[in-house]
Structures are given as C-alpha cells and as structure tokens.
A and B are shown apart, each in its own frame.
Chain A
Amino acid sequence: MNSDARGALNRRKFLRNVGGGIGAIALAKILSEENLLTAASNVSAEADTLARLAPHYEPKVKRVVYLFMHGGPSHVDLWDPKPDLVKYGGMPLPDSFGSVMTRRKVVHNPLMPPAREFRPRGESSIEISDFLPHISTVADELCVMRGCHGDSVNHPQSVYQMNTGSILMGKPSLGSWVSYGLGSENQDMPAFVVMPDPGGGLKGGPPAWGSGFLPASYQGTTMRPGANPILNLKPPAQVTGRQQQSTLDMIYKLNAKHLEDRDFDDSLAARVRSYELAYRMQTAAPDIVDISGESKATRDLYGIGEEPTDEFGTRCLLARRMIERGVRFVQLYSGDTLGWDAHNNLEDNHSTHCAKTDKPIAGLIKDLKKRGLLEDTLVIWGGEFGRMPMSEKGTGRDHNPWGYSVVFAGGGVKGGMTYGETDAIGLRAEHNKVHVHDLHATILHLLGLDHEKLTYFHNGREERLTDVAGNVVTEILS
C-alpha cells in the first residue's frame, strides 16, 4: 500500500472514530479539503456502547419510570384490603400460620387493623385505601399485583434483590440490564438515570443502581433537580463558558495530533468522542431540569409549588421530561434513610410519605396519559418489601418480604385489574404468586427483552438478571 492510500484510509478511520461534535467545524474543513465528505456521511457512531440496540421481539413499552418507595410501604394499609385484619385486630396470629421469619420479634404481637379504610375506586372498583386519594383517581390505569414476594427480611438485601435480582451486593441493576440490552434513545444523555431522595441514605447505597459486572457505562447516572443536576457537569465558578470552549478546542487539536501519531487507535478516538458527549450533556442536562417552560396547569398537576408535594412532584415532572427526551430508564426514590420503614407509628409515617408522593404520582400518570406517553411507558410503584399484619410497638409494623403489592401502569399492561392474593391477613403471598424474578422477567418482556436471552458472560457463567428463575406474568399483559 502506498503512503497516500494509507493516509486516506487512516483519515477515514479517524472520521469514523471521531464523528461530529466539538471538532465538527475543523473536521468539515479537513473533509472538504480531502474531498471525503461522502465517505464520512456513510459512517455513523455505530461503535458507541450506548447506541441503540435491537430488542428480542416487538416491545410493548420503550421506557420505564420506576417509583421506588424505600423502606417498605405497607401493602395491608395501602393496596391489599383484609377484612379479617379488621375483624381479628388485637388477636394474636393464629397457630395455623405456622412459624414466620421476621426481622424483629413480632410474631406473637397482636394483629393490627389497617390504618385507613379501603374503598372501591373507578369503574374497575379496585380497592385502595384512603391513604392514596389521588392515585385512587387513576385506579383504572393500574394493575395491582397483590401476591408479590421476595427472599429477605432485611433492608439492603431486599433493596438489592428488588433492583438486581440478588440479595447480595454487586449485581447489575435492572436499569443497567435495560441499558445494556437496549441502549439509549438519546446520544446526549445516559440511558439510565436515578434521582435519589434528597434526604439520602438509601439502605444498601449506590450499589442498588450499580452496573455490577456490566461495564461502568451502564450504571445509573444520578441526577438532581436544580442548577447542578449531574456531578461535575458545569465548569468551576472561575471558568466561564467561553473560556471552557477555547480550552476544549485546544484539547481537541492536541488530541487530534496525538491520535494521528498513533495510528488512529480506536480507544483514543473513543475518548475524543467522550468529550463531545460531555459537552453535549452540559447543554442537554440543564435543559431537562429547567422546568420554567412548563405551564401552571402542569405544575399544579404534580403538586409543584405547594407543600408537601413540591419536592417529589418536581422529580416526577423531571422523570417525564427525561423519558420525553429518550432516557430509557428513570428511577426515583421516595424516602430517606428511614423512609417508609414504619416500625412504629405507621399512621404518622405513611401519612407523611403518602402526602408527599400521592398527588405527584397521580399527576405523572395523568400527564403521561394526556401526552400519549403512557401507552409506551411502564410506570412501576413498589418498595423492597411490604409490612407485617402483626403490630410492632403497638403502632407500627415489621418488614414483610413474604407477601406484598407492586403496582404497574402503562403500556402492555391491563389497567384496572388486580392480580394475585395474599392470605386472609396479608402475611404471605398465596395465590398467583409473583416472585421478584417474575417481576423482572415481566418488565424485561414488556421492553421486548427475553430475560433468558439477556445474558452477560462473567467469571465463568452466563449471568442473567433473573439468575435461573423468572416467569413472565402473562395474565396481566394486555
């Protein structure tokens, strides 16, 4: 090969690897000089890890908003009416229920009736308690799975299991698997965004949205409302936008020379591209969190500008803005270190947390519906487990992973239905049980992913989100 031909080849490789962005102008110049514009238009950023990938089959939904109620909300006080719990309130747990593993010593405590009354809601007459008056108005959109169950009575293990399928730390989270399987629809934004509760202190910490053994690019990027939504998104105060622009220009120029001397090494070229993405994110991310253009009606719908809904309402609205812009998986946490963990005074705890989240969640569902987004978005409501029918300290309830409710709304799922049942007092899932693995299999299914085929080879094993289990809950599919 003569050196001219090699040069042309290398330049093409360079263009393919580096693409558009910061250096686009400089590149366009090189391109026109070299008369290679045609060649360049044929190549796209196909090598990007976050580029869009194909699902296994026709998806029902394209994106997910996961509302995680941290601490363990009580199914028997919110979603799962148990007349027997009212009737036998104050009585001990009958012997016929056998031995029960609990976190605290509550097995011999008296049964505690629900803190609020349940009523049939909407045309479907799903019973939901008075803790959730706003969500009750969208009952006909909801699929309430009342027979869910998991494997651990402890918080972090259950937070990990609900997020990663395993009670152990360090497995990739659902959102990471989804971005690994489907990529992002928006090259300027990460595929998987997490908005933690501003109170912080999730039990189990950031590994809940970690990518585990999947590459780091699939881990959840945390975003916050306000001026600085992503860590290090903006230059420090002493560096102006113009100053940074010229800095980036020089970085580009010197990197281009370095690259040229190194045979247009792919990994070096990828790093040049990462500066372009960073630069685009600096515009895209603040644009997402800038809600000044949202109408008053929309803000009111989410309870923005009023207490106690302003904070969670803002995050719910941001979730909508993110999925509109192609973010694949958005996860919101409600609840600080203690969150919904109502070991005592459940009345007070759940009143507080419901008041903060009920209206924003209803608002989100209504807003998605109005905008035609609900038909290809899955909204998930759930905690890491539910709570025991017995009382703790007279006014609270202990953790219950053996039976609880998780709620779906949106595309591909039947609205206005309940599925599965716990026993007479809500202690254990009994009929049409849905294990965490089944939830995960179903979520992936709705996204067009086969949970048995979405695998990643690691340490000698084809790893899956659902390990060796998981069945799609076909009965709830529309």
Chain B
Amino acid sequence: MVIFASVTIVIAETYNKGPSIEQELTEEELSHWAFQPIQHPRPPEVQNESEVANALDRFILARLEEKGLSLMPSADRRTLIRRLSFGLRGLPPTQEEIQEFLNDDSEIAYEVLVDRFLGETAFGERWGQHWLDVVRFAETEGFEHDYVRPDAWRYRDWVIHAFNKDIPYDEFVSLQIAGDELYPDVPDMAIGTGFLVAGPDMSDINIAEERSHTILNEMTSATGAAFLGLTMACAQCHDHKFDAISQADFYRMRAVFANMYFPEKQKRLNQVFFEPDAEAPATHLMLRGMFNSPGPVLAPGFVRAANPMGLTVPETEEDATTTGRRKALAKWITDPEHPLATRVIMNRVWHYLIGIPIVGTPNDFGVKGDRPTHPQLLDWLSKELMVRNWSLKEMIRLVVMSATYRQVSRPVDDTWVDAVAADPDNRLLSRMPRKRLEGEAIRDAMLFVSGRLNRKQGGPGVHPPLPREVAITLLKKQWEVSKDESDHYRRSIYLFVRRNLRFPMFDVFDRPDTLASCGRRNVSTTAPQSLTLLNSDFSLNSARHLAGEVLDSGAIDYSAWVDQCYERLFSRLPSDSEREIAIEFLEGQTTMLKDAEREVSELAVPLGTENTMDRFQGSALTDLCLALFNLNEMIYID
C-alpha cells in the first residue's frame, strides 16, 4: 500500500511539471460556439416595427423577415390567459379571472395579468418543478431499500421559495453549491446544498469506496449538467469523446467535493456533509472510471475550455473551517465572463415558456448537442439577465410580454400556410408551439376544476392512495397513505417522490426518472395514458366532483352545463356545433342510463352539494365531464 501511494505521488509530481495526462486544448476545440465569450448584441433592425412588442422580438422577427415571413398575430384573450396561467402557475385560469381580463379594456391589462401571476405562490410551485427535474430530485435513495431521506422536502420547499422570492440566479446557484461555506453561521443557508445530494445512492453497498466514488462522480456530473450544460459524465472513464473535457477535467472538478463524508450515525444523505476542517483527501484521476483504480493525484480546478477567465481554486486559508473549494466553484460558475452558465439558464427559461429551447439539448451544449437556432438572442438574454440583477422573474416577464410569446398557435389567416412551408419545424418560431402539459399539471388541473385542489403549501411530502396493483410492487411501509384525506389533493409538487416508484399518473406522462438531471422531458403518446385518463378512479372522481361543481353553479339546462364545463376546463365557451354534440351526448347518455334502470349506487352521480338532481341526467353530466378530461384540448395548450 505504501509503495503504491508513493508511486502515485511520483506520477502526480511528473504531471505537475508538465508531461501530460491530457492533451492541450486545440484551437478547434476552443472554437466551439458555447465556449465563446457572450456578446451583448444590439437587437437587429426589422422592416415591420409595428410587430415588435419588446427587444427580443427583433431577434425572432429579423430571421423571419429573411424568409419573407413575419410574426403571427396575437392569440385572443382567452387563449392568452390560459397559456399564461399554465405557463406561470401550472393551473388553468378561473372563470372570474377570465371575465376580469376580458372586461379590462386598459392597454396594460395583459401586463397587469402577468405581474399578478408572477406574484402568486403558484408561480414557485410551477417553476420549482422545472428545477426539480434539472436537479434529479427525489426523497429516497433508490436501489434495493429505497430508503427515505426524511428532510429532503426542505430542499423542495427552498426551491419553491427561491423562485417566489426571486433570489437572483447567481445567488441561487451559489447557495446550492456552497450555501454552508458562504454562510457558515446561518444553518438555513445550507438547505440549498440539498442539490448536491439529491441523486441516487446505494448506502447498502459492501464497499464504502465504491459508494463514495459513485456519489462524487454523480455530484460532479449533475453539477455539470444542471449549471453548465455539459455532459461531464462522459468524461469519468476517459476523455470526453466529442467535447473538450478531459478525464482530468472531470476529476479536478470532483476534487472540489472531495471532503464529503458519510456521518457514522446518519446513514442517509439528507444533507450534504463536508468535513468541517480544512483538510481534504487527495483526489485521483480514476482510471477507466473505476473506484479501485486510482491514477495520478489532481488538484481541484475548473473545466479548462469553459474557463477563459483563468480562475483557479485558491489554497485553503490556514485558519479556515472549510476548504473553500465549493465557494470557488460557485464563484467560477457565476462569474459574469463564464461562457456557459447564463446561456444555460436562459435557454431553460425560454424552453419552459416557449416550448422549444433555443439550444434543443438543454443539458448538452457540447459539439454533439444542438446548435442554437438564435445564437444572438441567446447571448442577448444572457447579458440581460446580468443587467437585470440576475432576476429570473424579470426575464420571464420579458419573454411573456413579447409578441413572439403571444402569437397564435393555429391557423387564423392565410399567412399560416406560408409559415408552415418556409418554417416546417417551427425552428424560426413563425408561430407559437403547442405544448403538452406534464402529468403534474394535468393532475393539478383536474383537481382544480373539480374544486378539490388543496392549496396548502410546503411541508413533508404527501402520499395519496396508489392503485393496489402498484402498491404491491413496493416493500412494506414504503407508501403509507396520508391519513388526512385533504392531503391527497395537494399540488403535485408536494407528492412524496420515491425514486423506485413514479406516481402512476406522472409515470405515464413522461416524468423523468430522477436518476440524472433532466433538461427536457420526453413527450410520448401512449395507450396507457389514455387508459389512465379514461378509466382511473382519479378521473372518475374528478369528473363526479366537476359535475357537482357545475350543478352547484346554478346552471340549469344542458346548454348551460356544457358552457360551464367548457369554460372551466378549456377557458372558453363551446362553438355552436360543439355545444350541439355535447347536448346530444347528454340526451343519449341519459336515455341509455334510464333504460338500464340502474340504482343510484351503481351510477357515477355528481358529488356536489345539491343532490336533488335526476340521477340519470346527473350521471350523464359526469360522463360528459369524463369525456372532456380526455380531449386533446385538456392537455395541449395553444
């Protein structure tokens, strides 16, 4: 062992003198677009000034005009409030909100709406989930026992709070990497470092070195993906095949976390634990990425290609209580000259609002990732973020106020055909992309329109009942249903996140697996999705409650019922032909149920406060509600 260690030191010394364990970066590697300094371009001139709502539209419009196109007209107010409400709050607008917006003839009506939504706590609950995808958040560790991390929810609440309080993005990043180092005297400032230990863990594995090796590599990879848009994970076994990230780059960054440890008594990774004294064990380059193959020793450092600023990790001060390495990492990432960090977050913001990211691979800004469709716009947004004190809310506001965001997403006049012909994949944003809601938003919306959504905020994750077939796949006591029934109707972000079992409704709608950072969810369309919305108890109960709400609203005839349903679910009134189809359905369904002479107990009667309703008509209304939950319009937002 002694011999082995001294050999390692020899190699390390050789390395420090120069001869390489990695190639010098080539000019070609360094010329990759994402490593270039961020410009602050002047928004371009456009021919049609009248279409411009704010500066960012110029970047979009200028490109469209080159193709002989222009922006689509603004969507109508009902479409806008629905789009904005789901985009900022993850919920549909209420009928009252719609009426108020329709009746507000002020020029700033839309702006007022934007500010109101941004100020609601629902905003953090919506955007918090986006971030939880990025940080692979779960409340258990995965693998065999999938042990619970009892305090993990505090990080989830912290994220929601950070969005609502609009903590500047540079601070948001720093607190997640080094909150404890930056504010050693304020315990709450360490909650954000839950990011570092949010990933999977195998606390049961035989070999402690393998466990910590796996965690440190995971932490390094997650940091690279979340903040830098780099596929660092590819460089743990060998130099990155495509990008300018050497294996040494990987382990130098890993060295930043080297003093992580597992406390004896606390087996679960509830929070990050770093040795309080300033010593950190040496970090080796691990040959072939294997935990038992230490190679040369490396000093902590930053990915060379993304470090034109030439920042280094300072030596730890003598009387320091921590290594200060993570503080240095946070400082590097949030440096105004950092070529990646602001581009990466602004691409995410754009993606969540517009639906198509500027860089199609939000977690991969490398050469194998997509090129930006609008590189100048991306740079401009990145600079603006810094100009606006790193305020994400300001940037979100800017995007949703643009004419680009407000475009229609469907044909309203003849310009559509030309736009589709010249811009078939909508890469130029010649129209607003249509977006499929996530499983979380679908569930929240169904609870909301059926009057059941419990708006309680924060606290430990809740456990709504699982279908029996799903529950039995778990070990005993892994999903003890929350005793307070109202907890079953909390917003989706407050549902307990078990790594080994995605909540069924979220699972079918492409919720990421929490095993690695997810920058862009898959959008699949499958039969199990349809079966879930059509046949689950959750759907039927939501339909019965919605039917109850409709009856309680005082709507007295079929026509009024249909109108109520449409406005609650789709934020609009039905067309004449839609109303006709729905009424015909209600009549047909009522007759069918009546002919079958079924008892109340056999029918899905509405669950409102009024029970005087004819049971067959009531059940037909439930059927209508169930059918409407299944329409494309329910889960696709124009």
Contact = CB atoms under 8 A, between A and B. Distances in A.
Interface of A: 1, 6, 49, 101, 103, 152-157, 168-170, 190, 196, 198, 200-207, 210, 212, 215-217, 221-222, 224, 228, 230-240, 242-244, 246-248, 250-251, 253-255, 257-259, 261-263, 265, 267-268, 270-275, 277-278, 281-282, 337, 457, 459-461
B417 A6 contact: yes
Given A217-B524, A238-B603, A457 B368 contact: yes
Contacts of A233: 531, 535
Interface residues of B, number: 92
A205 B540 CA distance: 29
B299 to A, nearest CB: 26
A222 B469 contact: yes
Interface stretch (B160-168, B190-198, B470-478): B470-478
B146 interface: yes
Nearest to B515: A170
A230 B202 CA distance: 31
Nearest to B473: A200
A247 B473 contact: no
Contacts of A196: 473
A232 B225 contact: no
Contacts of A259: 632
Contacts of A169: 142-143, 200, 499, 513, 515
A238 B540 contact: yes
B623 A247 contact: yes
A154 B202 contact: yes
A48 B533 CA distance: 21
Nearest to B498: A205
B582 A250 contact: yes
Nearest to A189: B527
Nearest to B596: A240
Given A277-B527, A281-B531, A170 B513 contact: yes
B234 A460 contact: yes
Given A157-B143, A265-B434, A271-B632, A168 B214 contact: yes
Nearest to B544: A238
B473 A201 contact: yes
A169 B508 CA distance: 19
Contact of B631 (A228, A243, A254): A254
Given A156-B144, A460-B234, A101 B530 contact: no
B593 A243 contact: yes
B602 interface: yes
A207 B500 CA distance: 7
B411 A263 contact: yes
Given A216-B507, A246-B592, 20 more contacts: A1-B417, A49-B524, A156-B143, A169-B499, A216-B508, A231-B467, A231-B469, A238-B602, A239-B626, A240-B596, A246-B623, A250-B582, A250-B627, A253-B581, A261-B411, A272-B632, A274-B526, A274-B529, A459-B233, A460-B366
Contacts of B369: 460
A254 B214 contact: no
B420 interface: yes
Contacts of A457: 368
B231 A461 contact: yes
Given A222-B469, A232-B531, A337-B475, A459 B225 contact: yes
Given A204-B500, A259-B632, A274-B527, A246 B585 contact: yes
A263 B473 contact: no
A253 B283 CA distance: 64
A232 B532 contact: yes
B583 to A, nearest CB: 11
Contacts of B513: 169-170, 207, 210, 212
Given A154-B205, A274-B529, A205 B474 contact: yes
B206 interface: yes
Given A244-B534, A247-B626, A255 B631 contact: yes
B627 to A, nearest CB: 5
Given A459-B225, A459-B234, A278 B516 contact: no
A101 B540 CA distance: 53
Contacts of A103: 206
A206 B416 contact: no
Contact of A251 (B206, B588, B630): B630
21 contacts: A154-B205, A154-B206, A170-B516, A196-B473, A201-B473, A204-B143, A205-B473, A216-B526, A221-B528, A222-B469, A238-B619, A239-B540, A239-B623, A242-B592, A247-B626, A251-B631, A262-B411, A263-B411, A270-B525, A278-B530, A457-B368
